Structure 1
């Protein structure tokens, strides 16, 4: 670029605002006078005779043509300017909306940190609503979905306390938050029809879920490692690519639930129902299973390798019904690959 071009470009940049103001203020006058001047020039060149012939009405027809062209140009210009104004207004509205979301996010997070149960629940729903709205926006705005997902999961994990018996030294974990709070978080994370959090890996390890209703929930890519499930229901749910290693389950109801690629290794499962469930590509290696029911369960490539079966364990009306528990714990991976799976 030559020195003159650089100087001219610099002048344009430094005076862009003034040029823009002049342009939008006088553009209509510029077009009007430009069209009139062009019409006069072509008139001097006998354009009216060329277009309409050497007749008394030629000049009138020519003037009408110029006026029509001028009117069309002004209409097009007006539409363009109006579109620019609408676009600018939309941009300003988006900026204002983003500012409002920032404020709403801070207010909702503050509610979540309050000690009042109703305020905490309000904060949960407020954050979820922001996530729903943000999920339909651009990539920058969508970041709120991931942030809110992490906040809610962290809230559940951090509100799990460990209690130590001073006499025996025995430790056990309890949830320090009321059940209704945990229930609400589970509802917005896994029972929403929009599935806005399904793309994220969910960490709910080392948590306690007691007396929670998981019915009809959808769990995908969730880490439940070392988590306790006590007297909760998870009927008609779906678990896909989930980790439940070293978990503890007592009094759980997984009836009519689907498990696909779920790992239960080294867990302790007692008094739990898997009636009419579907287990596909699941592992129960080194798991203790006590007084649990697998009746009418569809088993496809399920491995109970080295499981410890205690109490009353039933596999009625399943592909493993005719086998002993010892056979199940040693070769279930082969037995459940059979093509005549129920």
Structure 2
């Protein structure tokens, strides 16, 4: 039974405020025995642990939430990262307990090799004629999130007016392109000129703006949506949501995917226009992609032809090696990534 190096990314302590690279460290001395499977972790459990070799790791804003101590959540919900143990998130892995060469995507740990309960969070990859890194993004959790949130939750119709915050991110860039395929008018916000140019010139958005340059978001929405917003795909929260609510049409729909502006705050910014949900009979639906994994085969069959025909563009920002992981993850909250942030640990 071979014992090999198993480099890991580990949190030092729980985090408050904006995370720093120094909140995470790379443990280069850990090792692991390459035993394919083990007995159940707990007496009486039917789940065995399986070994995977991690190839690509996904950097996602929600991971910031797990860096702080989370009280009162059940194990079926989620739990904080444990200081001294590897952080977890979505990734693409080789799975030697299946057949040689088989690949999976799902929840894994930030390390070279992981032992995880089977079949929790593992979906076998059936199509390998596209980049494997896509299963951290366009064909993985972010892609499924965009698909479910837009098509299943928002029930779009041709000609509707759609706004997407954090539109250059892993989810937002897909929602915008889905909306254009539906024949909608689409506007996105992002945090730099380069990202705004990406939305308008490469991803086909009708309009886009840099929210950092807007001193009055309400006025910005009235400029881009003089007749109001039908669908808002919510990734940011805070002041953006507050201003959007003033500009929603009657019977509008909001899919709440995330609220990244809130994740690093000790006290969440106050949203003051929530009564517009009542005035305008707006449907606001908070959803978790975990509840929709059964749709993944349908989603992949929908998405693959668009990818293969070049009808949907997907932008990735890939860094090499676990050593780059802390910088890449923390960089999300400074807007340093350009497209879907991925850590390549395949070497």
TM-score when normalising by structure 2: 0.23
| Structure of higher CA gyration radius | 1
TM-score when normalising by structure 1: 0.23
Q: Which structure features the higher share of helix residues?
A: 1
Q: Which structure features the higher share of strand residues?
A: 2
Task: Name which structure has the greater RCO, CA cutoff 8 Å, separation 6+.
Answer: 2
